[in-house]
Structure 1
Amino acid sequence: MNGRPIDDVLVVGGGIIGLAIAREAARAGMRVRLLEKGAIGREASSAAAGLLGPQLGTDRPDPLLPLCLASRDLYPVFAREVADESGIDPALLDPGTLVVAARAGEAEALDRQCAFQRSIGLPAERVRGGELRRLEPSLRADCVEGLYLPRDRSVDNVLLVQGLERAAERSGAHLERGARVDRLLVANGRVVGVQAGPERVGAGAVVIAAGAWSGEIAGDGLAPVPSVPVRGQIACLGPAAVPGRPLYSGDFYLVPRRDGRVLAGSTMERAGFDRRVTAPAIAALTAAAIALVPALRDAPFHSAWAGLRPATGDDLPAIGRGAAPGLLYACGHLRQGILLAPLTGLLILRLLRGADPGFDLTAFDPGRFQNRITGAGLSPAPSAGARARRENPS
């Protein structure tokens, strides 16, 4: 990286992003050590719904869209490799996703989405009446218009995280649970490791992938990337026979699992680090599920949970090199963590190797938050020009 070969990497954070990076780096022959403050993959990565839907709601250019599309299209191979390496099938389901106009005015929004997506070469099909019913017979009677997205899919993110954990370790990565990182270690203007409790852990490169806790990690003269937790609550119903594919309506979704459970989500709440599940939120999600698919009225209530999604100051992820040599960031994915995991792992590996990442990462440059090392001769990087916000549900 920056002309210095890297053969040992320290990844901070054991969610899906950190695991994807650790697996890629270990498979590339690097020595990899991952430090996770708690249990592997137990935060936002296991609390998501697993929707892989970069086309959902997309009606205009977005700096994150090329990455989201590319990462979605990596999933068939990615899921198969994780299954082969770990023995855990992440249950990638590929029936396409159906966006439903369930309220007045939403049909026009579907027209705009369809027109834009087709203009950039994406498959999208407006469906009405009997054609909509054929795709999803369980919809309520007055839902008569939709947008079918054949490439959007879903994955069981809990199984995927379990598979990635095992695959990373079998590839040679050393994963440490209960290892909280206190600060970055800086020497001569370069990040050379971290302080983790009483232990000083050295590394040729440090990758911050600590989700909503990434903003707590800084070093001498090195400010953190801003990080804000965003609570998302999900209600789980079932087992139920319907719906047969992911459904998206307004800001609400239903995601069926292979085992018959149906996930209804989700909230977007700035509630700090409060993971509590609240009765009003779960009641509203359950009511929305029944309103969209009336047959779910007879489904048993299974469970409910909440996770803390990681947001940055502008709701775009931080992916790339930090202000000092030896430091990289892969955090702030908000609702796109599951979707972007395969590509983020590859992007960070390319940066570790000093290679071209293959994508324009300007909008995601961690330097846009004015990170700098004081007195090290490093000037603040310019702010990214794009401030678009994308909230693809995952």
Structure 2
Amino acid sequence: MSGREFFTARTVAEALAGFTPARRTAVETVAAADARHRVPAEPVRAAAALPGFAKSTVDGFAVRAADTYGASEGLPSYLDLAGAVRMGRAPTVAVPPGGAVAIPTGGVLPEGADAVVMVEHTAETMPGTIEVTRPVAPGAGLVRADEDVAAGGVLVRAGRPLRAPDLGLLAAAGVTEIAVHARPRVVILSTGDEVVPPSTREPAPGQVRDATASALAALVADAGGVPELAGIVGDEPGALTAALRGVLPRADLVVVSAGSSVGTRDETAGAIAALGEVWCHGLAIRPGKPTLLAECGGVPVVGLPGNPLSALVVFGLVGVPLVWRLAGAGAPPQPATRARLARDVASAAGRLDVVQVELRDGEAHPVFGPSALLSVLTRADGYVVVPEPATGLAAGTEVIVTLHR
């Protein structure tokens, strides 16, 4: 590795589009009820139509729509009440011309009916007769037997993480098991003689507790992965190469934390290059420029900057989408909101800037601080991206704030 490669930085867009390892996790079958956020390996299709029968969406009366045409409060339509539909049972009565059948929400539409008029638009003027004060069109107040999903239709598609409504639809279709990609196993290696475990009661002068690894593990879990904290590797020559060689066989992704700062980038890149191929060493982003992307024996490796803020920003932008991709998915969109910048934000053309912000009364207030401070992230509600071509954003600019999960 040459130090010059560090300064030939790739953009974040180039990294997301170009660093696309082919590795995908294995497929396993899990209970559908426990599959939230899992990624289906193949489309799941409905064995039968849903809901399977035409049913009412309102409390009211099943009618023939033509019998209500022209109805108004001044000149209502009068219909003979022919009976009622009971919940959870097939109708025992049909709707004759000029007639109506009482029906609850969710009740099976009786034969002869093609619409349901809401009870609010009716009145019972005398026993056995109702008046309708508003006309309905065919199909009003009901859903067809196959309106939710047709027989053979796709219930959930492959490649998109399952959400709560997806699990409900699977349950409605009687699907109790589903083939999904296994959760990616992400091994996190911390490096540096100065890094000590979080359990250290009193770090010596110059030592720092390993805060980044714990935060990375949480980001991995949020992205559907299984984090493994593989410990701290010292700075002695060959130690990182040996550690990598030991974890690669059980990893779907390896993250080297605090191993790509300016002072150690060549040693880290050399250790990784000894086992695979470095795709890039440097991203045009602030914070987070000294980032390394590589592949070792088919396993992607991400080398993060030493500063905690930089490491977490970069992993959120590049590492989290990679975890989802390993599980066969594109990265789900993060929640976002719009706000106006409370002050000017400077930037440099050709570099993507990620600015942490705090939201107050519809305004995004930038939160500045050194990249070594995790408190910058804990104070922020989200971040604003200043794109590469821009030289900054003026106060009052409407921006999209990507919210921290």
**TM-score using structure 1 length:** 0.24
- The higher relative CO (CA closer than 8 Å, separation ≥ 6) is in 1
> Whose helix fraction is larger, Structure 1's or Structure 2's?
1
- The two structures have a TM-score, normalised by structure 2, of 0.23
Higher strand share: 2
